[in-house]
Structure 1
Amino acid sequence: MTKASFLKFHVTPTVLLGLSLLAAPCAEAAKVLEPRLSTVKPTTPELDEETPVQRLVVKFHEGTRVRLRGGVMQILSEERDADERGRMQRHHVTDVRLNTDVSELQRMVQNKARGRRPERLFREPESTLAARKHLAEELSGKEMADLDLYYELPLEPGMQAADVNELVMQLNALDSVEIAYAEPVSWTASVSAWDARGNATASYELKQGYLDAAPVGIDARYAWSVPGGRGQGVRLIDVEGAWNSRHEDLPAFFYWGGEQLQGVDWRDHGTAVMGVMVGQDNGYGITGIANGAMAGRQGIATQSMASAIQHAARAAGRGGVVLVELQAPGPKTQKGCACNLSQCNYVPLEYWRANFDAIAQATAHGVHVVEAAGNGGADLDDAAYHGAFDRAVRDSGAILVGASSATGHVPMCWTNHGSRVDVHSWGEKVVTLGFGDLSGLGENRGYTDSFNGTSSAAPIVAGAVAALQGAAFAAGKGPVPPREMRALLRTTGTPQAPSSKHIGPQPNLRRALQQVLAR
């Protein structure tokens, strides 16, 4: 994704089991919802002992209605409705057991808290979370997670998995806890590869091969000839660490959410991502794929990734696009990687349950979520992930993006791959903003020709999604449902090169637009 190895986000090891139908009450009549499947708790620690972690995440079972009041977890049993009682009974949790477990949990974390108390993982008002959950269920016909059952315990800087692995296993042993995990620090999904040169600001658009017609590029220039094909009317929000909003080639952001991380590497990464998607069409520098879209940013410095996704999805709205640009270290499925060793076994953020639930709710609301598949060289079909990336087990509705060579659509050595990866795009030699190796005229005028990783591939796909949605809006077709958009990209794209690593096709906007406009 970037030129460094950043992806630092929190993830929840979660997998879904079993199927059963549950009748959920609606305003006028009972509606049968597709059940939300339970998470498989780990039986042994999943993270290497030296993995940096930043918080503990705990989720109680659905229906338990554990709420934070005055900084203390309380059980509001008298507020449960029939649906919640049914979900709680499904997991064989009684109030007696729940009371015991909540007390035990608070005792367990006291030593690690160092005076701090558990906090809500999702910071929006309870009424807002409840309303969005209900609407998502109505729109999707699927049970959604009660996000108010997620809690976090911030950890001190510098802590590693070894410091909390025993506590995580103790928390998972509590019957009332659906899942507990240590959230690893997230990093950008970029791969280093750059040198230093200096040139005057010029137009680099002709160097942006990913804009070219298929099979090399996604045919963005054709999309620009179609009304709405520059992403007009679409809100596109990047979720990650930081951006340089003063760069000469970026538009004004319509939305500023969260706080930024400090550091030029973070700013360069976010700026490069934004350039690929919304760099201005102004005759100099580069031109973004969806340069007519409204750009926004959601920082993660003071909140979890799951919370950031939730906020971004609300701001993007139905038909909007949320880009998840980070990755984090997951289970060690490989003892070693053939390349990019520093990010070996890094996985997409939806592996962790809180992130998955936030994404699933976003797509249920009609928000397109584009997610970097990560640079860990991992086969996401590996049994070690317990079906977390198996659509037959669970499906967040996100578009997962792998990375290929700039020519030939050959999977990059380090790209994650597997049946869950939907599409791919350039994972190397992407010309965009930031870093300064193409034009080193200061941070506000810096450009690069070597933005790499699934960090470069994912914004190309996000820009394509915004272009397609903009054309649909302009033609009066309305919002394209997220799963329909995902299927469209897969069926109309340019195939990857033959390989044992499945990364899907690269978007072909010319072919996809023909189908969008024929809807």
Structure 2
Amino acid sequence: MKASFLKNRVTRTWMMGLCLMAAPAAQATSVSVLDPRLPTVKPTSPELDPETPVQRLVVKFHEGTRVRVRGGGLQVVSTERNPAERGRMARRGLSEQKLRQDLMAALRVLADVPRMGPPGRLFRQDELTLAERKRLAEERSGKEQADLDLYFEVPLKPGTLAADVNELVMRLNALDSVEIAYAEAATEPAWFGLEVSGQATNTSPGYEGLQGYLDAAPGGIDARYAWTMPGGTGTGVRIVDVEGAWNGTHEDLPRFFYTGGVQFNDLGWRNHGTAVMGVLAGQANGYGVTGVSYGAQVGHEGVAGQSIASAITRAALVAGKGGVVLLQLQARGPRGTRDCTCNTSQCDEVPLEYWRANFDAIAQATAAGVHVVEAAGNGSVDLDSPVYRGAFDRSVRDSGAILVAAGTAGTHAPMCWTNHGSRVDLHAWGEKVVTLGYGDLSSAGEDRWYTGTFSGTSSAAPIVVGAVANLQGIAHATGKGPLEPRALRELLRATGTPQASDAKQIGSMPNLREAIPELLAK
């Protein structure tokens, strides 16, 4: 009965997905009324604990206001406002006079911020590119997308804490023309573990036999089965990893097809990004490791020097329809738990989409047909907690991303520190992942470092990305074209290996042997 239910569920979802894939070309010109964008719920009290380090203050004005950077400052450009935007302003009861008053009030507040410079655009792409991406996403999805040019950032001085800006953020949120204002906490890799150093070796042995996550279910995702199918190594799929740094000269990595943004000059960040790339794309060359989707093209977008939201939009543009963007970062959100005994250093760290700019960037990417996979984070929190004000309630808002938690390698039980909840879609190995970097397996120079201890939702998320890329590669090879992100997400959820019975929901683990026949049957 369970198998029949799952099959019917997948069938219904895939019929909807295939219709969505075909619809834009035929119906784009007939879309006259868009499904409205979900409203933002402003906080009624400061969200971040006073001692939380913060790196920027983000302000978004309401849709239709046409606040822009002009002449070195923020201005209302009413002459560029179209009829739809005028209608959005009217629905909010915002007059031109009120908007201009609120903008001046916001600038006065921002003058008091401990900042590094004046307010600027949060997203780095030019206005025409952002406008065109918005139009295409709306055409394809029939859903209203955010005007990303209404987001602005104020970089904060190093050492700024939430206590320094919490009151200023609340003053901004009190303005009717401001949709949301918040302080963005500093990000870090969603990796849990200790730096280790191993013994140098003179050769690079083969470690593929230790990569149990490649094996058949229930132990692994059965990547080896996918490799036997045309396109099943991720052929023709572009994957862009968004995080801090990578070692592009590692002996077991292919040449990156894209290197965007700026990297941190930091060994810890570099080890992390290199380990992620090894899980994805370690070359099938007889030594080192073999990536889940070793036939895919891989690239990266560095976050040093730009906002996470900006990095997401840049990565999505490069990945393209049917491509995959991987978000490997987490940041401290509101206090959602008092029990972080097994990972105190990352307590209350949450997925990136908690912050509205990141959510809007992800939603626009998935609406444009880009698959987004996001680490759920290692903050030990229940994402269904009311402290998050519905940010992770799928009935309230859904970015379309796949949220990935961490499970044990052997039993599929939640790792004690993994974030969990109804918004989490899938899990994968959160421990004992064999890949590149760190050097505890082989440390004969950084270009030949390998590890057997990569962990966290940072190890789980790229395993899921590999499953997504392999299915998308098979779809390309069999003429199905780009898959609809939500439909592929549901396919993986419905056909995966169930998690161990536990009150913490982390979802199933991908099982490619079960998912592929469902894909091919449609």
| Normalised-by-shorter TM-score class | over 0.9
Report the CA distance between 1:115 and its aligned residue. 7.0
Identity in percent: 65
Contact 1:193 1:452 in 2 (8 A): no
Work out which of the residue numbers 286, 291, 316 in structure 2 matches 1:288: 291
Indicate the residue corresponding to 1:82 in structure 2.
83
Indicate the residue corresponding to 2:104 in structure 1.
103
Indicate the residue corresponding to 1:408 in structure 2.
411
Is 1:453–2:446 an aligned residue pair? no
Indicate the residue corresponding to 1:20 in structure 2.
none
SS for the counterpart of 1:32 is: coil
2:165 corresponds to which letter in structure 1? V
Indicate the residue corresponding to 1:254 in structure 2.
257
- Separation in 2, partners of 1:500, 1:291: 35
Report 1:439-478 matches (<5 A).
439-478=442-481
Report 1:230-309 matches (<5 A).
230-309=233-312
1:249 corresponds to which letter in structure 2? D
Indicate the residue corresponding to 2:210 in structure 1.
207
Report the CA distance between 1:235 and its aligned residue. 0.3
Work out which of the residue numbers 381, 384, 391 in structure 2 matches 1:378: 381
2:106 corresponds to which letter in structure 1? L
Indicate the residue corresponding to 1:434 in structure 2.
437
Indicate the residue corresponding to 1:323 in structure 2.
326
Indicate the residue corresponding to 1:144 in structure 2.
145
Indicate the residue corresponding to 1:38 in structure 2.
39
Deviations 1:103-149 (A, max 9, x none): 11112112326572111001111111111111111111111000000
Report the CA distance between 1:514 and its aligned residue. 0.9
- Separation in 2, partners of 1:367, 1:337: 34
Report the CA distance between 1:30 and its aligned residue. 6.0
- Separation in 2, partners of 1:337, 1:218: 29
1:220 corresponds to which letter in structure 2? A
Is 1:498–2:501 an aligned residue pair? yes
Report 1:42-191 matches (<5 A).
42-112=43-113, 116-191=117-192
- Separation in 2, partners of 1:33, 1:111: 39
Deviations 1:258-285 (A, max 9, x none): 0001210000000000000011111100
SS for the counterpart of 1:129 is: helix
Task: Report the count of equivalent residues.
Answer: 494
Work out which of the residue numbers 397, 401, 404 in structure 1 matches 2:400: 397
SS for the counterpart of 1:400 is: strand
- When structure 1 is superposed on structure 2, of 97-106 and 492-501 the one drifting more is 97-106
Indicate the residue corresponding to 1:369 in structure 2.
372
Indicate the residue corresponding to 2:427 in structure 1.
424
Report the CA distance between 1:49 and its aligned residue. 0.9
Report the CA distance between 1:219 and its aligned residue. 0.3
Q: TM-score, normalised by structure 2?
A: 0.93
- Separation in 2, partners of 1:434, 1:46: 36
Indicate the residue corresponding to 1:19 in structure 2.
none
- Separation in 2, partners of 1:134, 1:272: 36
- Separation in 1, partners of 2:116, 2:213: 51
Contact 1:371 1:401 in 2 (8 A): yes
Q: 1:225 to 1:63 in 2, by over 3 A?
A: same
Indicate the residue corresponding to 1:515 in structure 2.
518
- When structure 1 is superposed on structure 2, of 195-204 and 33-42 the one drifting more is 195-204
Report the CA distance between 1:228 and its aligned residue. 0.4
Contact 2:425 2:493 in 1 (8 A): yes
Indicate the residue corresponding to 2:197 in structure 1.
196
Contact 2:366 2:372 in 1 (8 A): yes
Deviations 1:166-210 (A, max 9, x none): 111111111100000001000100111464332441000000000
Q: 1:114 to 1:36 in 2, by over 3 A?
A: closer
Q: 1:28 to 1:203 in 2, by over 3 A?
A: closer
**Unaligned ranges ≥5, structure 1:** 1-25
1:470 corresponds to which letter in structure 2? G
Contact 2:28 2:139 in 1 (8 A): no
Q: 1:436 to 1:152 in 2, by over 3 A?
A: same
- When structure 1 is superposed on structure 2, of 74-83 and 474-483 the one drifting more is 74-83
SS for the counterpart of 2:58 is: strand
Report the CA distance between 1:79 and its aligned residue. 1.6
Report the CA distance between 1:335 and its aligned residue. 2.2
Indicate the residue corresponding to 2:5 in structure 1.
none
- Separation in 2, partners of 1:153, 1:304: 11
Q: Where do 4+ consecutive residues of structure 1 move more than 4 Å?
A: 26-30
Contact 2:116 2:154 in 1 (8 A): no
Is 1:314–2:294 an aligned residue pair? no
- Separation in 2, partners of 1:113, 1:60: 21
Indicate the residue corresponding to 2:7 in structure 1.
none
2:288 corresponds to which letter in structure 1? G
Q: 1:87 to 1:307 in 2, by over 3 A?
A: same
Is 1:228–2:231 an aligned residue pair? yes
Indicate the residue corresponding to 2:349 in structure 1.
346
Indicate the residue corresponding to 1:355 in structure 2.
358
Deviations 1:352-409 (A, max 9, x none): 0000000000000000000000001111111111111111100000000000001010
- Separation in 1, partners of 2:115, 2:281: 44
Contact 1:194 1:450 in 2 (8 A): no
- Separation in 2, partners of 1:400, 1:344: 18
SS for the counterpart of 2:325 is: strand
Contact 1:238 1:324 in 2 (8 A): yes
**Unaligned ranges ≥5, structure 2:** 1-26
Report the CA distance between 1:338 and its aligned residue. 3.0
SS for the counterpart of 2:241 is: strand
- Separation in 2, partners of 1:29, 1:496: 43
1:366 corresponds to which letter in structure 2? G
Q: TM-score, normalised by structure 1?
A: 0.94
- State the superposition RMSD in angstroms: 1.2
Deviations 1:333-362 (A, max 9, x none): 112313111111111000000000000000
